[in-house]
């Protein structure tokens, strides 16, 4: 675009229009919220403190609302995809803040949140933005969430040695992060589908366009599948083994048409809920075993997963539940 005339018309994209709209609203809100700074002690206006960190494998952090005792009240961690691992450290640190704000937006609503990060670029970007489009997009996402939920954030750099717990959480492997290979999903989907939503997934392993997740990920429809109504959907359920009993009860309570994929652990607490319960057994309309010796060879995708990257020593079972 040339600079021949200040009066020449300029064509701008939809993203630029959205950003202009965002700042027109944000600046008005910021101006309306002005106070006499000499009368305010920063500690008096902080409701929640958030410590976060990002490593090359994942992100993590925690919240505390007791500013004196520094008691941890909520923790969160997650893993990066291969593409996300290759982003800059500043991108990962900024996206870490974004995922915390998106996940806890209801907790943060109408509150002032102080965010501690050991990346010096993050506080600067959240104050004035960034010339790098990827970073600016994340900053806009954070600011938009804050405007929508009336969240006031204060960011502060903290030395790495004072952020050790968040650093440890960022290197944590999510052992519940596992999914069935897409070949097996396609086979079951052709038999009993189509499925409308994947209830236990992330943006990198979901089998459906719509999904729920444990924490906020790009594209997630809701955080915490158990808070949703499953009754109106055809649900694809591949939960962490520790949650299978809760899932069975949720399916029964919501009368949710579902396919549940579980390990064949007959001594597990969830097994009698499915196969020894008169209330639920009558709703089992089909089962399909995937054995170790099958030609499918248990194509279980194990991305930092519960079962580890190895051939499973047990069978898997898909159960069709229909109400």
Q: Does 296 map to a domain? A: yes
- Asked whether residue 165 falls in the same domain as residue 190, the answer is no
Interatomic CA distance for residues 149 and 98, integer angstroms: 14
Q: Are residues 114 and 199 in the same domain?
A: no
Domain hosting 103: range is: 40-170
Does some domain include residue 22?
Answer: no
Which DSSP symbol is given to 211?
B
If asked whether residues 117 and 208 sit together in one domain, one would say no
Torsion angles phi and psi, residue 197, rounded to 5: -155, 140
* CATH assignment at residue 162: 3.30.420.10
User: Would residue 17 count as lying in a domain?
Assistant: no
CATH number at residue 307: 3.40.50
Residues 266 and 190 in one domain: yes
26 in a domain, yes or no?
no
Say which residues have a Cβ less than 8 Å from residue 293's Cβ, sequence separation at least 6: none
Q: Are the C-beta atoms of 60 and 78 separated by less than 8 Å?
A: yes
| Residue 300 resides in a domain | yes
**Could you tell me which of 52, 32, 154 has the C-alpha nearest to residue 100?**
52
- Of 140, 170, 200, the last residue of a domain is 170
The pLDDT assigned to 305 comes to 43
Q: What is the pLDDT of residue 10?
A: 72
Helix (H) or strand (E) segment spanning residue 108 = helix 105-108
Question: What is the count of structural domains for the chain?
Answer: 2
pLDDT at 34: 53
Of 104, 139, 170, the residue that ends a domain is 170
Residue 136, phi then psi, degrees to nearest 5? -65, -40
Residue 257 confidence (pLDDT): 96
Tell me: do 161 and 82 sit in the same domain: yes
In terms of domains, do 63 and 106 share one? Answer: yes
Per-residue confidence (pLDDT) for residue 156, from 0 to 100: 93
Q: How far apart are CA 9 and CA 194, in angstroms?
A: 49
For the whole model, what pTM was predicted?
Answer: 0.69
Please indicate, yes or no, whether residues 184 and 273 belong to a single structural domain of this protein: yes
- The DSSP secondary-structure symbol of 222 reads E
Residues 146 and 262 reside in one and the same domain: no
Checking phi first, is residue 194 left (phi over 0); if not, alpha (psi -120 to 50) or beta? beta
> For residue 114, is it within any domain?
yes
Q: Of 170, 187, 221, at which residue does a domain stop?
A: 170
Q: Which tens digits make up the pLDDT trace of 197-252?
A: 999 998 888 999 999 998 888 889 998 999 999 999 999 999 999 999 999 999 99
Residues 156 and 222 in one domain: no
DSSP string, 30-94: HHHT---GGG--GGGG--EEEEEEE-SSEEEEEEESBTTTTB--EEEEEE--HHHHTS-HHHHHH
Residue 317 lies in a domain: yes
Q: Are residues 137 and 218 in the same domain?
A: no
Do 192 and 312 belong to one domain? Answer: yes
- Per-residue pLDDT 10s for the chain (323 aa) are 455 566 777 777 777 777 777 667 666 655 655 545 455 555 557 889 999 999 998 999 999 876 554 555 788 888 898 899 999 999 999 999 999 999 888 889 999 999 999 999 999 999 888 989 999 999 999 999 999 999 999 999 999 999 999 999 999 877 777 778 888 899 999 999 999 999 999 888 899 999 999 888 888 999 899 999 999 999 999 999 999 999 999 999 999 999 999 998 999 999 998 888 666 788 899 999 886 554 344 444 444 444 444 556 778 899 999 98
Output the pLDDT for position 121.
95
| Statement to judge: residues 144 and 213 lie in one domain | no
- Could you tell me if residue 281 is inside a domain? yes
Distance from C-alpha of 89 to C-alpha of 55, rounded to nearest angstrom: 8
């Amino acid at each position: 675009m040339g600079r021949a005339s200040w009066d020449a018309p300029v064509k701008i994209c939809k993203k630029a229009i959205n950003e202009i709209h965002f700042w027109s609203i944000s600046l008005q809100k910021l101006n309306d919220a002005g106070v006499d700074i000499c009368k305010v002690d920063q500690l008096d206006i902080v409701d929640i403190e958030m410590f976060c960190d990002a490593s090359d494998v994942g992100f993590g952090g925690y919240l505390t609302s007791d500013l004196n005792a520094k008691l941890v009240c909520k923790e969160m961690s997650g893993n990066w995809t291969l593409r996300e691992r290759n982003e800059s450290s500043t991108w990962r640190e900024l996206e870490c803040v974004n995922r915390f704000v998106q996940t806890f937006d209801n907790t943060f609503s109408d509150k002032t949140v102080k965010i501690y990060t050991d990346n010096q670029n993050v506080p600067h970007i959240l104050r004035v933005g960034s010339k790098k489009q990827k970073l600016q997009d994340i900053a806009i996402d954070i600011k938009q969430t804050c405007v929508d939920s009336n969240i006031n954030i204060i960011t502060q750099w903290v030395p790495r040695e004072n952020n050790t717990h968040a650093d440890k959480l960022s290197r944590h492997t999510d052992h519940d992060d596992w999914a069935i290979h897409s070949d097996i999903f396609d086979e079951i989907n052709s038999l009993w589908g189509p499925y409308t939503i994947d209830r236990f997934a992330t943006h990198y392993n979901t089998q459906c366009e719509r999904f729920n997740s444990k924490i906020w990920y790009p594209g997630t429809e809701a955080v915490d599948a158990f808070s949703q109504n499953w009754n109106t959907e055809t649900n694809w359920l591949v939960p962490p083994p520790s949650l299978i009993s809760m899932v069975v009860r949720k399916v029964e309570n919501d009368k949710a048409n579902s396919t549940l994929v579980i390990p064949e652990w007959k001594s597990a607490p969830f097994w009698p809920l499915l196969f020894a319960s008169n209330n639920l057994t009558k709703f089992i309309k089909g089962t399909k075993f995937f054995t170790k010796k099958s030609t499918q060879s248990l194509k279980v995708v194990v991305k930092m997963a519960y079962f580890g990257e190895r051939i499973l020593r047990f069978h898997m079972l898909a159960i069709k539940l229909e109400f």
